[in-house]
Amino acid sequence: MKHDLKPATIAAHAAGALDPQSGGVVPALQPSTTFTRDENYELLRADNIYARDNSDNLRQAEKVLQQLEGAADTLLFPSGMAAIAAVFRTLPNGATAVIQSGIYWGTTAWIRDFCARRDVTLIEADVPDLAQACAKHDPALIFVETPSNPWLKSVDIRALSDATKATLVVDATAATPILMQPLAHGADIVMHSATKAINGHSDVLAGVLSTGRPDAQIWQDIRADRKGAGAILGPFEAWLLTRSMRTLPLRVERMTQNAQSLAEHLFDHPQVADVFYPGLPHHAGHEIAKRQMTGGFGGLLSVLVKGDKQDALRVVGKLELFLRATSLGGVESLVEHRHTIEPHTGIPENLIRVSVGIEDIGDLIADWNQALG
């Protein structure tokens, strides 16, 4: 293939994956867990021994992601949390790590628990204090999420990378590799929950890590641990992911346009107190997001409705197209009342988190108008 293909081309062609055996334009699903040797005990394919190490379907999905991310190496995991855990498990006892506060609650909860068990000193800092926390505590690792979920805060990846020699890991799930490439801004490792927009059809659980520096010790450790400890994505999930990613740029383009229009509409609505979305000029992270994202600001936003918890739950209950379910990045729009899920983390009671899908924007706006009305 030619060099410098654009994301839409890489994705549509699944980075060139075909089925050489049948001539099919779609790669075959190969579920085998083990691979044969010939009469001289030579492997038929030197790169296929046992499915805990690798498989064709896994490599195909990783190749697409690696090219979309502009990475030198990419590893898939069975969930986003498994990818995050793979990073943190490289920390030795007694190490120090910094994480951004107010990020995806599942991440915070697991990291707190892990660090306590491992005797890892964990520092949690809000976006404006991250660089200072690194200067003060000299961590081995810093983990941030941008745009963050559900506050939609933006972390200046380049500034943070310049400010610390710690391994900088960026959870870019809400941005996708289509809208933001953290490695180009100085991140050491970029992480996505591929369960979200990368798969986009709410039917695969997966996580991914990519790096520009595959020779780094931490990456070698992550790679060895995935193989040894077996946190591997199955071939069927990898195959589905490859199939889904063919439309990733298209889906992201539409959900981003829809989210921008919905955010602007809701911000002007008399029943709405505020909207958190990096694409709105008044939003605190707008300038940073504009610098490091291209093509839009993603499909995730949070709406503060006027009133209290009951008012928010009433609006959520009246929505018809926005399904009441957790998760984000799917083709169908979702809403979640985060305070019900994590009442102890300071989420405002009147906050409704919205994942905007690829439906008709007129239908989506009409749904919110009737629910707020």
Ligand X SMILES: *Cc1c(COP(=O)(O)O)cnc(C)c1O
Binding segment for ligand X (CB under 6 A), chosen from 48-56, 100-108, 128-136, 213-221, is 100-108
Closer residue to ligand X, CB minimum distance, 179 or 272 = 179
Beta bridge partners of 170: 144, 190
86 vs 358, beta carbon nearer ligand X: 86
Helices and strands (H, E) in the chain, number of each type:
14, 12
Q: Where in 120-149 is the site for ligand X (CB under 6 A)?
A: 145, 149
Among 104, 151, 277, 297, binds ligand X (CB under 6 A): 104
Six-digit token string for 210: 């990519």
Is residue 66 a contact residue for ligand X (CB under 6 A)? no
**Part of the chain binding ligand X (CB under 6 A), chosen from 103-111, 154-162, 210-218, 286-294:** 103-111
Size of the site for ligand X (CB under 6 A): 16
Candidate residues 79, 100, 146, 302; the one interacting with ligand X per rule CB under 6 A: 79
- 56, 69, 156, 171: which one binds ligand X (CB under 6 A): 171
Residue from the set 7, 102, 207, 249 that interacts with ligand X by CB under 6 A: 207
The answer to whether residue 107 forms part of the interface with ligand X (CB under 6 A) is yes
What single-letter amino acid sits at 354? V
Per CB under 6 A, does 173 bind ligand X?
A: yes
Q: Please name which of 174, 156, 180, 324 lies closest in space to residue 259, comparing C-alpha atoms.
A: 174
**345 is a site residue for ligand X (CB under 6 A):** no
The string of DSSP codes covering 207-257 is EEEEES-TTSHHHHHHHHHHHHH-----HHHHHHHHHHHTTHHHHHHHHHH
d(CA 178, CA 60) in angstroms, rounded, equals 18
Question: Interface with ligand X by CB under 6 A: which range of 50-58, 122-130, 193-201, 351-359?
Answer: 193-201
First to last CA, the chain: 53
Binders in 309-328 for ligand X, by CB under 6 A: 328
CA distance 10 to 250: 12
Q: Which residue, 79 or 90, has its beta carbon nearer to ligand X?
A: 79
Judged by CB, which is closer to ligand X: 171, or 274? 171
Say how many CA atoms lie within 13 Å of 42 toward its Cβ: 3
Distance of closest approach, residue 77 Cβ to ligand X, in angstroms: 9
Of residues 237-266, which lie at the interface with ligand X (CB under 6 A)? Answer: none
Two tokens at 94?
């007694």
CB of residue 19 vs ligand X: minimum separation in angstroms? 28
> Stretches 35-43, 181-189, 190-198, 288-296: which one binds ligand X (CB under 6 A)?
190-198
81 binds ligand X (CB under 6 A): yes
Q: Which residues contact residue 259 at a Cβ distance below 8 angstroms, ignoring those fewer than 6 apart?
A: 277, 279, 296, 297, 298, 299, 300, 301, 354, 356
Stretch of 8-16, 129-137, 191-199, 231-239 lying at the interface with ligand X (CB under 6 A): 191-199
Residues 83, 173 contacting (CB under 8 angstroms): no
CA 324-328-334 angle, to 5 degrees, is 25
Instruction: Tell me the two tokens of residue 55.
Output: 């498989």
For residues 88 and 267, which CB has a smaller minimum distance to ligand X in the complex?
A: 88
Q: Are 182 and 172 in contact (CB under 8 A)?
A: yes
Does residue 205 interact with ligand X by CB under 6 A?
Answer: yes
Nearer to ligand X, 175 or 313 (CB): 175
**Which of residues 195, 211, 247, 258 is near ligand X by CB under 6 A?**
195
Residues 6+ apart with CB under 8 A from 163: 131, 134, 135
Greatest Cα pair distance, the chain, in angstroms, is: 77
209 binds ligand X, rule: CB under 6 A: no
Taken as a whole, the chain contains a residue count of 373
In the bound state with ligand X, the residue whose beta carbon lies nearer, of 174 and 218, is 174
Which residue sits closest to ligand X, CB atoms considered?
80
Task: Calculate ∠ Cα 146-189-110, nearest 5°.
Answer: 70
Q: Does 193 bind ligand X (CB under 6 A)?
A: yes
Q: Does 333 bind ligand X (CB under 6 A)?
A: no
Interacting residues toward ligand X by CB under 6 A: 79-81, 104, 106-107, 145, 149, 171, 173, 193, 195-196, 205, 207, 328
